[in-house]
Structure 1
Amino acid sequence: MYNGEKRIDRPLRWGMVGGGRTGQVGYKHRTGALRDNTAYRLVCGAFDLDAARGRDFGLNLGVAEDRLYPDYKTLIAEEAKREDGVEVVTIATPNFTHYQITRACLEAGLHVICEKPLFFTVAECEEIAALAEARGLIVGVTYGFTGHPLVRQMAAMVKKGMLGEIRLVDLRYTHGFNAGDDANASEAQRWRTDPRTSGPTFVLGDIGTHVHYLSEIVLPHMKIERLLCDRQSFIRSRAPLEDNAHVLTHYDNGAVGRLWVSSVDAGNMGSQRYRFVGSKAAVEWTDSRPDQLIYEVQGEPVRILHHGMPYLEAESLDLDRMGALHTEGLGDSWANIYLWIAQAIDAKSRGDAAFLETHHYPGIEAGTEGVRWLEACVRSADAGSTWVDYDQAPTRTEATETQDA
């Protein structure tokens, strides 16, 4: 069990671009980073395109007035003048800005933690990965529930062979908050349904990448060979961006998978469901019952495993923060993700290659894989929902069209 004691020598000086008063994700990032005051300290921010609103917001967070900036360029320039300048910046802005802000931060010698989807194309991801490597910097990506202890429990059970050979993968992340039109949508919602600011996808990128990455954590030994994506714009004004999609998957070990993501699942307040079925048994976890993992062995009674209990694997117990008596939730998962990234930044700064070799955190590779998955989904859907080879790179024309969208 983790009780908040420091795992790096001192808190990292941390700043935010975006994530202000009208944003939907800023508080999740601050909850994750600041849950342990041993990992990060919020020292500066450019929280809003409206500079006055961002300044007022930052003051209410307790950030010093002279370290509240009107934009990311000013933040980078002014913080570089300080001996106690920012070391790592979280980017919680609309998708179309991720690449340019990430690049600017890396060029200024700053580590980056970025929202997903990371960028619009795999080519952009690979370019940023090369830049980060050349500068000796870390790029982290935030994927919601992937820091939950029971997610790690599922991964440990698969690794130990408790499920047998994996055959079926059933994934879902749906809600109904976009079942109506966008006439009265908030600022934070409107950019998500505009191809110029969201990129080539809506729900696939907004919530589908969470599901895809979590499945990679549980099934690291399995790779996608082919997929078929069928996507819809039930609210026609959102076209060509989808508000509903189904993805069928063929894996290299012969397993098959299906994934459903939707923001028009009317009446659903938001739920994620993950079921992994092997030749011996299955495990199932949902965020609507985050404390419980269903373990079903063929021919035996169903077992309900509870987080924080000593019968769980060490990989799960090491992440538990609340103990079995109390609920372990999204904030705890984000705190684990932010802590992992802080440890990676600390190790990178010290040149500790051995630690980084075995340390898990969602880095540039995870972000790149998410974009690769989105490119394959779009390629399949736009070809009439046909099967496509997963590793097939988009043509130069397709990549240019995506960047120009």
Structure 2
Amino acid sequence: MLNGEKKIKRPYRWAMVGGGRTGNVGYKHRLGALRDNTAFELVAGAFDIDYERCKDFGKNLGVSEDRLYPDYKTMFEEEAKRPDGIEVVSIATPNFTHFEITKAALEAGLHVICEKPLFFKVEQGEEIKALAEKMNKIVGVTYGFSGSQLLLQMRQMVKNGDLGDIHMVELQYTHGFACDEIGDKESEGQKWRVDPEKSGPSFVLGDLSTHTFYMSELVCPELKLKELLCDRQSFVKSRAPLEDNAYVMMRYENGAVGRMWASAVNAGCMDGHRIRIVGSKASVEFSDNQPNELLYQVQGEPIRKMIRSMPYLYEECNADERLGALHAEGLPESWANIYLKFAVAMDAKDRGDEETLKNLVYPDINAGIEGIRWVTKCVESADKGGVWVDFE
């Protein structure tokens, strides 16, 4: 169980690019990074392309005005001159900026935490992976839901054979908050997401399904995707060629099958985010809107509801427990868990501790690359008329 004690020698000096007042993810980053004040300390930022707004916002966060910068290049240059300069940067900007900022950060000798989808092309991911290895730095990806510890329970159940042979993977991330064009025109956090030049080749596939696809990789690390078929739609016509709804069929190398539904136009749905793994003996299901419960269904037996933090759960699950079974956890704790693991990974990399890195489960550069591959292959399949394409 986690209780706030330090996992590393001292907090990393941390900065953000983006994540300012008009964004909708910056606060999640800060909740995650600062929930354990032994892991990160926010000391600098280039929070906004509007410098005056950046300064006003940053001062309200408690950051010194002399460490609030008009852009990331200036921040990297000026912080490098300081004996107490930043060591880590989080990138919470639109998709089309991720590659250049990540590359600049690594070249400046910084560890990187970046929003998803990481980049537009797999080749960009491989280039950044090689650069990170050269610079001996960590690149983490904020698949923010993946820190829910019951996913680790699912992972161990799959690993230990509790479900039998894995036959089916059911994935869904849907909501109804983009059923019309209003947000496309009025929301700063939405406008760029429906602009192909800024979001890349997809909308909901990149923005939503990459989260859930990584969750499936986290739970079933030995299950390798062989091929997929994607059909995508733009029900709000002004978004074309970007999709606001998509269905993906999947075939795995071991003969298992799967499907994904990603949608921002599931009218009336507040949160349809779930992962269900079906085996030959039993099934297990996690829903983001019930993050403290895991549905476990053994064929021929009563349905069981497993509750977070209870002693019957695997040790690998309860190691990330924070509040105890009587108290609900949710998305802030999930973000805190992955940020804490980012810090542990960075510390291990700095110390040359490859054993810790090998055994640490967190969304790393490889997870980011697989997310890029997922989006790329889905778009390829859909644009060819909904045909099966090889995943590799």
> TM-score of the superposition, structure 1-length normalised?
0.96
How big is the shift at 1:361?
A: 1.9
Per-residue deviation, residues 108-149 of structure 1 (Å, max 9, x unmatched):
101100000000000000001001100111101010211111
Deviation, 1:270, is 2.1
Q: Determine if contact 1:276/1:283 at 8 Å carries over to the other structure.
A: yes
Tell me which residue corresponds to 2:30.
30
What residue in structure 2 maps to residue 108 of structure 1? Answer: 108
Query: Which residues in structure 2 correspond to 1:360-375 (within 5 Å)?
Result: 360-375=361-376
Distance, in Å, in 1 between the alignment partners of 2:357 and 2:294 is: 30
- Number of the residue aligned with 2:43: 43
1:176 lines up with 2:176 in the alignment:
yes
5 Å-filtered alignment, 1:142-161, equals 142-161=142-161
Please report how far the alpha carbon of residue 354 of structure 1 lies from its aligned counterpart in structure 2 after TM superposition: 2.2
Give distance in 1, aligned partners of 2:168 and 2:181: 35
Q: Which runs of 5+ in 1 are unaligned?
A: 392-405
Looking at structure 1, the residues matched to 47 and 164 of structure 2 have their Cα atoms a distance apart, in angstroms, of 48
**1:307, 1:355 → 2: CA distance?**
25
Q: Percent identity?
A: 63
Q: Which residue of 2 aligns with 1:253?
A: 254
Partner of 1:273: 274
Secondary structure of the structure 2 residue equivalent to 1:205: helix
AA paired with 2:94? P
2:296/2:306 contact within 8 Å kept:
yes
In 1, Cα distance between the equivalents of 2:233 and 2:45? 37
Residue deviations 1:349-371, cap 9 Å, x none?
11112221222221110100100
8 Å contact kept, 1:33–1:335:
yes
8 Å contact kept, 2:227–2:389 = yes
Which secondary structure state, in structure 1, belongs to the residue aligned with residue 186 of structure 2?
coil
Residue 292 of structure 1 is matched in structure 2 by: 293
Whether contact under 8 Å (2:185, 2:191) holds in the other structure is no
**Which residue identity lines up with residue 383 of structure 1 in the other structure?**
K
Q: Using the alignment, how far apart are the partners of 1:78 and 1:152 within structure 2?
A: 41
- Structure 1 contact 173–272 (Cα < 8 Å) conserved: yes
- Matches of 1:221 and 1:354, distance apart in 2: 20
Aligned-partner residue type, residue 81 of structure 2:
K
Partner of residue 308, structure 1: 309
Question: Aligned pair count?
Answer: 391
Query: Is 1:92–1:115's contact at 8 Å kept on the other side of the alignment?
Result: yes
Matches within 5 A, 1:347-366: 347-366=348-367
Q: Aligned residue for 2:53?
A: 53
Aligned partner of 2:11 in structure 1 is 11
The letter for the 2-side match of 1:111 is: H
Structure 2: gaps of 5 or more residues: none
Q: Distance in 1 between matches of 2:107 and 2:292?
A: 42
**Alpha-carbon distance between aligned partners in 1 of 2:53 and 2:4, rounded to the nearest angstrom:** 33
Give the structure-2-normalised TM-score: 0.99
Report Cα offsets for 1:140-185 as digits up to 9, x if no partner.
Answer: 1010211111111111101010000010111100001100114643
Aligned to 1:75: 75
- Partners of 1:360 and 1:270 in 2: CA distance: 26
**Partner of residue 344, structure 2:** 343
Cα distance in 1, alignment partners of residues 133 and 379 from structure 2: 29
* Conserved 8 A contact 2:204-2:264: yes
Q: Which moved more, 1:352-361 or 1:224-233?
A: 352-361
Give the Cα–Cα distance (whole angstroms) in 1 for the partners of residues 291 and 86 of structure 2.
Answer: 35
Paired residue type of 1:12: Y
Whether the 8 Å contact between 1:320 and 1:328 is mirrored in structure 2 is: no
User: 2:177 and 2:58 mapped to 1: Cα distance?
Assistant: 28
Residue by residue, what CA displacement relative to the aligned partner does 1:175-207 show, whole Å, maximum 9, x if unpaired?
011001146431110000000000011000001
Find the counterpart in structure 2 of residue 395 from structure 1.
none
3-state SS of paired residue (1:253): coil
Q: Which residue of 2 aligns with 1:117?
A: 117
5 Å-filtered alignment, 1:89-108, equals: 89-108=89-108
Q: Which amino acid aligns with 1:364?
A: I
- Deviation track 1:276-312 (CA, whole Å, cap 9, x = no partner) reads 1000000011011111101000000000100000000
Cα distance in 1 for residues equivalent to 2:377 and 2:275: 21
Using the alignment, how far apart are the partners of 1:136 and 1:287 within structure 2? 34
Amino acid at match of 2:99: Y
CA RMSD of aligned residues (A): 0.8
Secondary structure of residue in 1 paired with 2:9: coil
Distance 2:347 2:267 in 1: 44
